[in-house]
Structure 1
Amino acid sequence: MEFQQLRMFLKAAELGSFTGAAREFGVSQPAISQQIGRLEQSLGRQLFERQGRQVALTEAGELLRRRALQIVSLVDDTARLLCDDGETGKIVVSAIPTIAPYLMPGLLEAFHEEYPRARVEVNEEVTEVILRRCALGEIDVGVLAMPASRGYLKFETLFEEELLLATSADHPLVGRDQVELDDLRDLPFVLLDEAHCLSDDIRGFCRRRLFQPVTTGRVSQLATVQQLVAQGFGISLIPQMAVPAEPTPRLRFRSLDGEKPSRTVTACWNPDRYQSRLMLSFLETLKHAPVHPSSRTT
């Protein structure tokens, strides 16, 4: 049994595919199959049920998966411990797409000034992927919006962020002195697709006011949402950090009156993995990351 075989085995188990595992390791699919076959031969047990292009763990495979996770984690954590000088090393961070482009650049700049010899790898991924990769120890820190749960992960709230109403510049609501959520009841919304938790936040807030937002389209980028709103295809609720710093001629943003929609931005990590001094320093930088102190309107 070789250590790299265990890594390949775990990746194939996670993805349910030898082809997917091969892509992750940058090797051919036959190379992965060969290594898994050697591992099965050395153990004398079949680890996967082959189901066409997909594979599923056997009972023996599930037992090995639990032990292999412990073995790989122990080896990786030992390497981190031995090399942990608090100044150098690599941190892997994942953030959801509605946070990454707005929070991470300034955060990385501040961290680099304090720790110039450290390397930070940033990934942009949806919530479920972040939770899974964090649990597997593939990332050190996740930055996402609640609610999110994975029992064995540690979560810490970073800040609460208001969601601002976004409309086109010529929308009838622009001239109103006051706008409350109930005023949006029958208006079409432009939302992100189901993979993004921001849409869940918006729908949940509307449901608490006893209505379901009427949607005119679902897209995958927050920038696209704003472009469609600017063109008059609907309205939306936009995180405050995503509001452009400079006024946008075709867009208007405003804080709602009355109960204000918001989201809770949080950090997560796996407490069972070794927390390097550098990673803890990054968390501290993250906790003090600059956010908008108050709502902006344009």
Structure 2
Amino acid sequence: MDQPYVIGIDIGGTNTVFGIVDKRGQILRSGAIKTGRHEDVGDYLDELAQALNDILKDPFSKDTIRGIGVGAPNGNYFSGSIEFAPNLPWKGVIPFAQMLEERIGIPVALTNDANAAAIGEMTYGAARGMKDFIEITLGTGVGSGIVVNGQLVYGHDGFAGELGHVIMRRNNGRLCGCGRNGCLEAYTSATGVARTAREILDLNPDTPTLLRNIPVEDITSKDVYDAAVTGDEVAISIFNFTGNILGEAFADFVAFSSPEAIILFGGLAKAGDFILKPTKESMEKNLLKIFKNKVKILFSGLKEDDAAVLGASALGWEV
């Protein structure tokens, strides 16, 4: 039977989104579930399988699906396992592709979520026509997909591209979800921005800011953005702090792969110039002279949910 469709699944720290995709890259039917609802991965997979069955209705059926591609934090392309993902509720090594395939009866392939976003960007988004670029995902964590000469870099074990866990502050660095201190993710993820907000408010108790209208433990990166839009100086300083560290990291990333562009994807990228301007200034300040004014920083050319779903779905054609 002709199998003109694949399914793409993006597992985020908060939500899991999925869709049925055709050969032109059109998402024809989609859905979502909460990632952290179940501490037991088996219960989560049962809910995911049921949600997939719910969208596999006329004119779609399992017989029309070539394969399923999954993008997940710490997803290992070679083994099909999610391994020691700090931002997911399930610990250790999870043979995810095998477990999902057993429940749904369709072949499953899996890769890192940021790699999936990079594939989607290269096929349908801002990286079309590029052979050398880095996709940076700024969400609950910080991930990366590195493309060199048109090929994703996986490394010998499938885990190349953990740029969110490059250590940016070696002395008294923040504790990261991975268990180490000073990682880029601890500062420039959406959760890192919220941590910065709490620190700045604590250190400057007399400085007026709209952020004081929110219980300090409830502040999110979106709250910081909403305040920055009004001209709130504290909120703008939070983005400047974040962009400064992100730019330092980008200058180092450029040194090892000389990308044409670094593409920002994920929730924090919605902050627009508040994050782009300080990041670009910091990167240029810290670049080697041979790289100055050569590397673009771009926002993803795809809607946030679509990029990772489309990228993951590309794996479905190969299983």
TM-score, length-scaled by structure 2: 0.29
TM-score (norm 1): 0.31
- Report which of the two structures shows the higher radius of gyration computed on alpha carbons: 1
